[in-house]
Structure 1
Amino acid sequence: MTNTASSLLGVRFIGSGSAVPDRVLTNHDLAQMVDTNDEWISSRTGIRERHIADGEEDSVASLASKAGQKAIAAAGLTPQDIDLIILSTSTSDDLFGTAGRVQKLLGAERAVAFDLVAACSGFVFGLVTASQYIHTGTYKNVLLIGADVLSRWVDWQDRRTCILFGDGAGAVLLQASSQNKPENNLLGFEMRSDGKGNEFLNINYLGRSTFEPISMNGQEVYRFAVRQVPEVIEKSLHYAQLEVNDLDWLILHQANQRIIDAVVNRFGIDPAKAVSNMGKYGNTSAASIPIALDEWVQSGKIQPNHLIAIAGFGAGLSWGSAVFRWG
C-alpha cells in the first residue's frame, strides 16, 4: 500500500456520531479545586469547560457504543452490517481490551473488534489502519471509534494537567466503494513516531498494578506540535496532489487553541476553516477529532464532497495526518 491510498477498492465516509458524559466541569469549578481561574485557563488553552465521566454509564465502552450507534444509524446501516470495529483508546476499561465490550453493546455480532493504542494520534492511525482492510477487500463496513476517559488518570491537584482533559467518544463509518464506481475518498496520509520524546507525555506503570497520573511537559509538547504537525499535513496533501487552499476544513487534535492558531498562521489559511470546539470539550485524546468532525457534520457545515485534512499528535511521541473527501 502507498500513502496515496490508491488500491483496488476505495474508501467512502458515510456516517458519524459522538457521545460525551452529561457532567460538565467548568473553569470556575476547577478554580475551587486548584489555584487557577477561568481567564488563566482560557487565555492559554482556549478551554472553558469539559465533560467528565460520572459512573459506569460513562465508561469507555458505554461512550464508544453510543457514538458508534449514531454513526451506524447516520450511515443507514444496522449493527449486523458491520464487519470490523476498531476502537482507538489509551484508557481502556480493561487492559485486555474494550473493543469486544463495544461489539457486544452494539449487537454487532458479525464484527471483528480490537483496540488500537496511539494516544492522541489514535484516530488518525485508526483511520489509516481501517482503510487498509477496505482497500484489500477484506472488509466492507468498518466502524472506527476514538474514545477516551482521561479523567481517570488526571491528578486533580496538578493545575498544569487537570485543566486540559475531558472525556468522550466519536465515531466514523467507513465503507468500501462499489466495484462499479470505485471512488476513493481517502486521498493521502502520513504517519510518524519518535520514541525519543516519550518522556514528554505519558502515564507510567509504577508496579503492583498501579499507574502514575498523566505526566506532561507542556512546553516540549507545544514545540513538537507546531514544528511537526504542519509537515505531516503538507505530506498528506502532497500524496493527495492537493494544496492547502483546496481544503474546505482543517481538523486538528483539540489540544490547545494556540497550536491550532500556529498551524493556521503557518499555512496562511482562513481561520474559519480550522475547526475548533475544545472550548466545550477540552482535550479528549483519540476522541477529539471525530467529536469535532461529527459536530460540524451535524450542524451542516461539513457537506458531501468537502475536502478535509485531519491531524493528530501526542504521546509516543506520535503524529499523523490524513486528507479525505467526506461522503
Structure 2
Amino acid sequence: MEIGITGIGSYIPSIITKNEDFLGHTFLENDGSHFPQGNAVIIEKFKSITGIAERRYAPSDLKTSDLGFLAAQKAIEDSGIDPEGLDYIIFAHNFGDLIPGKIQGDTLPSLATRVKHLLRIRNPKCVAYDMIFGCPGWIESAIQATAFIKSGMAKKCLVIGGETLSRVVDKHDRDSMIFSDGAGAAIFEANPKSGNVLAHASATYANEEAYYLYFDKSNDEDACADTRYIKMNGRKIYEFACTYVPQAMKDCLDKSGVEIKDVKKIFIHQANEKMDEAIVKRFYRLYQKEVPQNIMPMSIHKLGNSSVATVPTLFDLVTKGEMPEHKLKKGDVVIFASVGAGMNINAMVYRY
C-alpha cells in the first residue's frame, strides 16, 4: 500500500522580531551574573552560529491550537478532501495553548480536539489526540499516521505541528532569541495519486541525555519564582545531534532501498544553521560522499526555530514555490529528519 501526503499547509505569523530588537534586553548567565560583553556582541555571535536574523511571533489573540487550525484548513483545502472523512487528527506540540502573561500551559481539552472543534467535524469516529515528542513530534505523528493507514485502521489522517515558543522563553536567557511561533499541517492518505512513505526510523536516548532540554526558572533571581521557562544545554544538544542524527538518517535511507545519489532534498528541523549543516555533512560522510549543492532548504534565517512546526512549514514553502531556489518534481525522493527534547530523533524517507 502506498501512503502519501495529499495536502500541505502552514501558518506563519505576521509579527517579525529582528535581532536588533533584543539590543535592549538584559541577558544573564544561568547563575544570574552579567555577561562581560555587550548585547551587540552577544547577538552577532548568536547569528553567526544559528543563522537566525529574525523570527516570527504570533499575535496575542491566537493560541497554538488556533495556529494549528489555520494550517490545517490550508492542508485540507490543498488536498480537496471532506474533513468529515478524516480518521485521525494528531497534533504535535510541547506546551499546549499558552496565553501571554499566564504561567500555565493549557491542554484540557487536547489541542487536536480543539482543532476538530474549530473545523466543525461532527464525525465521532474522527479520533483526535496530541503528540508530545519534542521537536521531532510532527515527523513522529506522521510515522503514527502511516502506521494507522498501513494497518487498515485509517484511510485519511491530519497531522499538525504547532507551537508558540515566544510565550515560554526567559527574556533574560540569550537562548530565547532562537525560538519562534508557527504551525504546519499535512493530510496523509492511502493510495494517493502520487507520493509514498518509503521508510522511517525513530529513537529515544533518555539516560544522561534526558534533560538536555528542560524547564527551569528565569536567569533573573528577582523574576517570579513560580514561572518556568524552556532551557537547554546547547553544547550537549549540538554534540548529541551531530553524533546520532546522521546515523538515524542513514539507517532510514538504507531501509528504503534508495541510493544516496537519488536523494533530492533534506528537510531537517530548523534548530541551528551550523548544527544542521554539520549533521548533513556527517550523513554524506557515512556514504563517503560530498554534500550536493542546494540539498538542504533553510528557513531558520527568517523564521527561527518553531520546534514541531519547522519541518512541515519548510516542506510547504518549497512545494508551494515560496523558495524558488529549491524545486521538487513528482517522483523525487526527500528525507525528513529531526532531533529534540527527550532526547528524541527520527527520520522519514518520502517519494514526492
Q: Same fold (TM over 0.5)?
A: yes
- After TM superposition, list the pairs within 5 Å mapping 1:180-259 onto structure 2: 185-196=196-207, 197-203=209-215, 212-259=228-275
Task: Describe how 1:133-148 pairs up with structure 2 within 5 A.
Answer: 133-148=148-163
CA distance in 1 between counterparts of 2:211 and 2:300 reads 25
Q: Rg larger in 1 or in 2?
A: 2
Between the aligned partners of 1:31 and 1:303, the Cα distance in structure 2 is 43
Query: Which residue does the alignment assign to 2:101?
Result: none
Structure 1 segments, 4+ long, off by >6 Å, are: none
Aligned identity (percent) is 31
- Offset from partner CA, 1:30-49 (integer Å, 9 cap, x none): 12224533532221101111
Task: Check the 8 A contact 2:212/2:232 in 1, yes or no.
Answer: yes
Say whether the 8 Å CA contact 2:217–2:229 is kept in structure 1: no
Distance of 2:195 and 2:14 partners within structure 1? 37
State the distance in 1 between where 2:122 and 2:155 align: 15
Alpha-carbon distance in structure 2 between the residues aligned to 1:237 and 1:21: 34
Distance 1:146 1:259 in 2: 22
Query: Using the alignment, how far apart are the partners of 2:79 and 2:226 within structure 1?
Result: 40
In structure 1, what is the Cα distance between the partners aligned to 2:333 and 2:226?
44
Alpha-carbon distance between aligned partners in 1 of 2:299 and 2:268, rounded to the nearest angstrom: 10
Q: Which AA in structure 2 matches 1:149?
A: T
Aligned equivalents of 2:264 and 2:339: distance in 1?
21
Specify whether residues 173 and 39 from structure 1 end up closer, same or farther in structure 2 by C-alpha distance, changes over 3 A only: same
Structure 2 equivalent of residue 86 of structure 1: 90
Q: Is the 8 A contact 1:27 1:41 kept in 2?
A: no
> Among residues 23, 32, 35, which one is paired with 2:24 in the alignment?
32
Measured after TM superposition, the shift of residue 211 of structure 1 is 5.2
Code of the residue aligned with 2:49 in structure 1: it is R
d(CA) in 2 for partners of 1:64, 1:304:
27
- Displacement of 1:313 in angstroms is 0.3
Asked if the contact 2:116/2:128 (under 8 Å) is kept, the reply is yes
Q: Which of 47, 60, 65 is 1:61 aligned to?
A: 65
Structure 1 alignment gaps of length 5 or more: 1-8
Task: List runs of 5+ in structure 2 lacking aligned partners.
Answer: 27-37, 98-105, 219-224, 285-289
| TM-score where L is the length of structure 2 | 0.84
Query: Normalising by the residue count of structure 1, what TM-score does the alignment of the two structures yield?
Result: 0.90
CA distance in 1, matches of 2:195, 2:312: 20
Cα displacement (A) at 1:184 = 7.4
Report if aligned partners of 1:26, 1:50 keep a CA contact under 8 Å in 2.
Answer: yes
Q: Distance in 2 between matches of 1:211 and 1:224?
A: 28
Q: In the TM superposition, what is the alpha-carbon distance from 1:130 to its structure 2 partner?
A: 0.7
Contact 1:264 1:270 in 2 (8 A): no
Amino acid at match of 1:53: A
Q: Is 291-300 or 314-323 further displaced after alignment?
A: 291-300
Query: 2:297: which partner in 1?
Result: 275
The equivalent position to 2:308 in structure 1, one of 274, 280, 286, is 286
Map of 1:6 onto structure 2: none
Secondary structure in structure 1 of the residue aligned to 2:177: coil
* 1:17 alignment partner, SS class: strand
**How far apart in 2 are the matches of 1:73 and 1:205?**
42
User: One-letter code of the match for 2:215?
Assistant: I
User: 1:157, 1:257 → 2: CA distance?
Assistant: 23
Contact 1:13 1:174 in 2 (8 A): yes
Structure with the bigger percentage of helix: 1
Confirm whether residue 107 of structure 1 aligns to residue 107 of structure 2: no
Counterparts of 2:344 and 2:9, CA distance in 1: 25
Q: CA deviation at 1:13?
A: 1.2
The secondary structure found in structure 2 opposite 1:225 is helix
1:199 to partner: Cα distance:
1.5
Question: Quick check: 1:245–1:269 contact (8 Å CA) kept in 2?
Answer: no
* Contact 1:148/1:285, CA 8 A, preserved across alignment: yes
CA RMSD of aligned residues (A): 2.0
Inter-partner Cα distance in structure 2 for 1:22 and 1:226: 32
1:241 to 1:224, Cα distance in 2 relative to 1, 3 A:
same
Aligned-pair CA distance for 1:204: 5.4
Distance 2:215 2:145 in 1: 26
1:36 maps to amino acid: N
Q: Does 1:306 align with 2:306?
A: no
The whole-number CA distance in structure 1 between the counterparts of 2:226 and 2:77 is 39
